[in-house]
Amino acid sequence: MRIALGVTGGVAAYKAAELVRRLQQEAFDVEVLMTRGAEEFVRPLTFAALTGHKVIGAMFAEGSSRQANVESAIEHIAVAQRIDLLLVAPATADVLAKFAAGIADDFLTTLYLATKAPVVVAPAMNVNMWEHRATQENVARLRSRGVCVVAPDEGYLACGMTGAGRLAGHDAILQAVREALDLRRDLSGETVLVTAGPTCEDIDPVRFLTNRSSGRMGYAVAEAAMSRGAEVVLVSGPTALAPPPGLTFVPVRSAEQMRRAVNAHLDSATIVIMAAAVADYRPTLRHPHKVKRGAPSLTLELELSPDILAEIGPRKEDRVVVGFAAETERLADHARRKLKAKPVDLVVANDVSRCDAGFDVDTNVVTFFSRDGSETELPRLTKREVAERILDEVLRLKSRTAHERKNAR
């Protein structure tokens, strides 16, 4: 999910840098908008470095070309359409008044009017400014429109006074964000080990065997698990995706490297989701130099790669383990066979021959085959939506297992 974080001109602007990190730890993609006043307290470069996105400032840049200003003038519409939530922290009395009055004289206030996403504001100001009748009327007006206002804390203020006006703690702001987005934290206390992407099995220093996996499904699972409160370890083969901030990222290349990484992190995991497309075979010989063109044909001898999922068996214990079955025919037969042969509680099967599911697309069509005998076919969903459904099924299986153990005592 993407959050636009508006930073306005108050002393508390420096606290927004740490807030960015906290949001990233919960798998939010954050882009920052700064008012001119905010730039007097914190350099935009700070937020650009933290988020990996350019920081949006003034609506029109001085000295810019007419074309650049036209593009800037409509950028707020693009931002308004792509964000899932607008968060303003700190929010000054000035920006609260503009929001309440519908004044749009800079990028942030224009974005507020242009977006249909939920809005959360965390005011920070002098105690007298906060308690002023005008500010309280503005806050009441915003709340009546559905804006979530995270009330400031009381304490010693930068102006030397004591009272309400300090920016609310990050935990309170994050809780408001979760509630505004209707996010669950039902994986708190869990450690989820996720594998993603393809593996590459080298033939020589130039060529290798691989597959079409983009890693999107595994990365979506990792992001969803983080947003629901889990600690996440993502073991990924080579992909074009940037690892989500806030998790433990372990890049690997070959099936053997993925095997070692999974073994290294398995003991700490309570849930294992094996979404990687691990090569079934690898060359028996890796040539030390590039194989030159010559003979009219070339024979490669292949051997089985390690079966990482099967090897989890002796160490599975009470972990919930999820496997994937990417098939092109007889989907149900292959998935049921995998469920029976492997130490898994759930097999997520999909037909990768479809153009709207599987590799290289943002959607997927999957069927769940669970250890308890249930089979659930899902409609075409985004991979993030599929990830959420997978985690829902994992929690159902954990709850069922716990109930069975309790009854067996």
pLDDT in tens, 116-131: 999 999 999 989 999 9
Pairing of β 320-327 and β 346-351? parallel
Is it true that domain 2-181 has CATH number 1.20.140.10?
Answer: no
Q: Which of 148, 159, 200, 355 is catalytic?
A: 159
pLDDT exceeds cutoff 70 at 159 = no
Least Cα distance to 323 among 307, 342, 304 occurs for: 342
Domains 2-181 and 191-408 share a fold: yes
Mean pLDDT, to the nearest integer, of 194-204?
A: 97
Backbone angles phi, psi at 298, to 5 degrees: -135, 130
Bridge partners, 123 (sequence order): 91
Query: What is d(CA 28, CA 15) in angstroms, rounded to the nearest whole number?
Result: 18
The residues near 399 (Cβ < 8 Å, ≥ 6 apart) are none
CATH 3.30.930.10 assigned to domain 191-408? The reply is no
**Residue 314, token pair as written in the block:** 């002796």
In this predicted structure, which of 11-20, 61-70, 223-232 has the lowest mean pLDDT?
Answer: 61-70
Average pLDDT over every residue of 387-408 = 85
Higher pLDDT, 159 or 192: 192
Verify whether residue 200 is a known catalytic residue: no
Confidence (pLDDT) at 70: 43
Q: Average pLDDT, whole number, for the chain?
A: 90
DSSP string, 102-161: T---SHHHHHHHH--S-EEEEE---HHHHHSHHHHHHHHHHHHTT-EE-PPEEEE-TTS-
pLDDT of residue 385: 92
Phi, psi of 36 (to 5 degrees): -60, -35
The pLDDT tens digits for 268-285 are 999 999 999 999 999 999
Sequence ranges of the domains in the chain = 2-181, 191-408
Instruction: Give me the phi and psi of 327, to 5 degrees please.
Output: -125, 165
Q: List pLDDT tens digits, range 66-98.
A: 554 445 556 667 888 899 999 999 999 999 999
pLDDT > 70 in the chain, percent = 93
What's the whole-number mean pLDDT along residues 254-278? 97
For the ranges 62-71, 306-315, 334-343, which has the lowest average pLDDT?
A: 62-71
Where b means 16+ CB within 10 Å and e means fewer, 202-218 reads bbeeeebbbbebbbbbb
Give me the sign of the Cα torsion angle 181, 186, 188, 191. Answer: negative
Average of per-residue pLDDT across 103-107: 92
Q: Which of 368, 365, 387, 361 is nearest to 27 (CA)?
A: 387
What is the structure's pLDDT at 216? 95
pLDDT score, position 362: 87
- Residue among 130, 134, 132 at smallest CA distance from 90: 130
Any idea what DSSP says for residue 228? Answer: T
* Lookup: tokens for 315: 């160490």
Closest among 114, 123, 132 to 4, alpha carbons compared: 114
pLDDT-derived band at 1 (thresholds 50, 70, 90) equals: confident
Above 90 in pLDDT, residue 135? yes
Would you call 133 exposed, middle or buried from its count of C-beta atoms within 10 A (0-12, 13-18, 19+)? exposed
∠ CA 267-271-272, nearest 5°, is: 80
User: What's the rounded Cα separation, in Å, for the pair 50 and 57?
Assistant: 16
CA separation for the pair 232, 245 (Å, rounded)? 11
Task: Compute CA distances 154 → 92, 96, 158, 160, whole Å.
Answer: 16, 19, 12, 13
**Per-residue pLDDT for 389 more than 80?**
yes
**In this predicted structure, what is the pLDDT of residue 131?**
92
Q: How far is CA 103 from the centre of its chain?
A: 33
Residue 64 has pLDDT above 70, yes or no: no
More confident residue, 196 or 166: 196
